[in-house]
């Protein structure tokens, strides 16, 4: 009952905030230049300047060639209709990729950056199931594998950042081959993201670090009816993400729902609180749900290094989950985050960031791993009140997965620990 009422109230509150009296005074239909020789970004920016307040901005059913960054952060009571495609120009490693590396917009967290910032109040974006963003990611996926830093290369942009977006709804959009993370949601509150498809499967290069969405310093965010194909976190909640709902969604090939990484900034207090996930299907993902925190030792600096952060992740509830071919432990906690190219991670059990009050109720399906849970927690701030109920996973041969590996777990319920987890650095929940 708790799950259903919480999610329903969250969606109802967001919809109430975005359904307001429309005082549209202007309408702007954007014309495309027609080829990648013309940058459509100036025309797009001009349309938003004219019609981004109490108006309507219309992308026609054609291709728009986006050759430069856009910061559209002044919106107020606007409808945005996207009937066509926004294609990011990345056709040449010698000219296009250096442009984005040098000009992508800072998002104010982890030294990350973005190609597009969209922000404002009472913003309604509708793609009608046809509008899409194409990041031309194959070129990025091929290029990044040649670099010494393949995790978080400086300047490699997110496809879109919703920054300071409030009382808004985004729906009916598709994102293809995002350059890096598809979507970062930062400093945003009361936002509904509904009926979104993310497909970061490369045509001729394997994608990496292409999260479906990441929330940072945001609250009352609802992800409903998402489908994500990618090679990293399906959806990730990072620092100060509170009152987040993930419902009625399907995730393919990635890492599953992630809490973190968090605790990366020394002495900073951050939280993840009141998270609900319900009616989720996982297909060939690594985990269903996992938590990743940094140790208490600061080793290097973000985006790849860090540590020494304070805080907690609490009140996280998941229900009605189904899995097809999980690749690792269904539920994992690792308090020793380490990314490729970072300095040594230090003591893997000394994190002061605590994980507590987790309820997982109802997971069925198949797994390639015998581990239902791998909980590598801190000895300084042990994981407490971890409950796992009604979980039935089978291997391909029909054997029941029954491994519950625990380190520094207190007051667990619904399962008995029958082994110890691997203790070591990891970016994906298990070392």
Tokens of 364: 């069925």
Residue 4 phi/psi, 5-degree rounding, is -65, -45
Tokens of 220: 């009352």
Q: Is 84 helix (H, G, I), strand (E, B) or coil?
A: coil
How many whole angstroms separate alpha carbon 330 and alpha carbon 415?
14
Question: Which whole-number Å values give the CA distances from 370 to 27, 227, 325, 398, in the listed order?
Answer: 57, 27, 11, 11
Q: Which of 143, 118, 308 lies closest to 209 in space, CA to CA?
A: 143
How many whole angstroms separate alpha carbon 320 and alpha carbon 284?
17
How many whole angstroms separate alpha carbon 172 and alpha carbon 183?
15
Helices (H) and strands (E) in the chain, counts: 4, 28
Contact 154, 109 (CB under 8 A): no
- Catalytic residue, from 232, 233, 243, 297: name it: 232
Q: At what angle do helices 137-144 and 96-103 cross, to 10 degrees?
A: 80
Q: Is 8 helix (H, G, I), strand (E, B) or coil?
A: helix
How many whole angstroms separate alpha carbon 353 and alpha carbon 377?
10
Contact 134, 86 (CB under 8 A): yes
Tokens of 99: 């442009």
How many whole angstroms separate alpha carbon 96 and alpha carbon 90?
5
Tokens of 362: 């109802």
Instruction: State the first-to-last Cα distance of the chain, in angstroms, to the nearest integer.
Output: 36
Contact 272, 250 (CB under 8 A): no
* Residue 232 is among the residues annotated as catalytic for this protein: yes
Strands 132-134 and 157-158: unpaired
In sequence order, what E strands does 172-308 have? 174-176, 183-186, 189-199, 214-216, 218-229, 233-237, 241-252, 256-262, 269-283, 289-293
Annotated active-site positions, please? 232
């Amino acid at each position: 009952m708790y799950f259903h009422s919480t999610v329903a109230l969250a969606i109802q509150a967001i919809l109430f905030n975005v359904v307001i009296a429309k005082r549209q005074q202007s309408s702007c239909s954007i014309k495309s230049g027609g080829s990648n020789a013309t940058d459509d970004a100036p025309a797009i920016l001009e349309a938003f300047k004219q019609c981004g307040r109490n108006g309507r901005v219309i992308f026609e059913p054609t291709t728009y060639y986006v050759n430069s960054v856009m910061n559209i952060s002044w919106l107020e009571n606007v409808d945005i209709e996207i009937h066509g495609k926004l294609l990011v120009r990345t056709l040449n490693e010698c000219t296009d990729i250096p442009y984005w590396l040098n000009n992508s917009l800072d998002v104010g967290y982890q030294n990350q950056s973005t190609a597009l910032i969209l922000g404002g109040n009472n913003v309604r974006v509708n793609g009608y199931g046809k509008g899409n963003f194409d990041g031309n990611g194959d070129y990025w996926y091929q290029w990044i594998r040649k670099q010494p830093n393949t995790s978080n290369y400086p300047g490699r942009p997110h496809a879109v950042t919703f920054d300071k977006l409030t009382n808004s709804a985004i729906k009916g959009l598709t994102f293809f081959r995002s350059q890096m993370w598809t979507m970062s949601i930062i400093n945003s509150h009361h936002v509904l993201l509904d009926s979104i498809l993310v497909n970061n499967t490369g045509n001729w290069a394997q994608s990496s670090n292409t999260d479906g969405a990441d929330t940072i310093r945001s609250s009352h965010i609802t992800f409903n009816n998402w489908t994500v194909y990618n090679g990293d976190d399906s959806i990730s909640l990072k620092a100060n993400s509170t009152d987040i709902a993930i419902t009625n969604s399907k995730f393919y090939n990635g890492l599953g729902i992630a809490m973190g990484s968090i605790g990366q900034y020394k002495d900073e207090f951050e939280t993840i609180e009141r998270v609900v996930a319900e009616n989720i299907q996982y297909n060939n993902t690594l985990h269903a749900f996992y938590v990743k925190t940094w140790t208490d030792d600061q080793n290097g600096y973000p985006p790849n290094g860090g540590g020494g952060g304070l805080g907690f992740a609490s009140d996280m509830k998941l229900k009605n989950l189904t899995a097809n071919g999980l690749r690792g432990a269904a539920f994992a906690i690792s308090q020793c985050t380490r990314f490729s190219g970072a300095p040594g991670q230090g003591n893997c059990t000394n994190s002061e960031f605590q994980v507590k009050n987790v309820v997982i109720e109802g997971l069925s399906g198949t797994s390639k791993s015998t581990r239902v849970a791998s909980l590598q927690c801190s000895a300084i701030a042990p994981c407490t009140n971890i409950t796992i109920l009604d979980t039935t996973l089978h291997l391909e041969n029909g054997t029941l997965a029954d491994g519950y590996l625990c380190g520094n777990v207190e007051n667990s319920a619904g399962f008995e620990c029958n082994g110890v987890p691997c203790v070591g650095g990891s970016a994906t929940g298990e070392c």
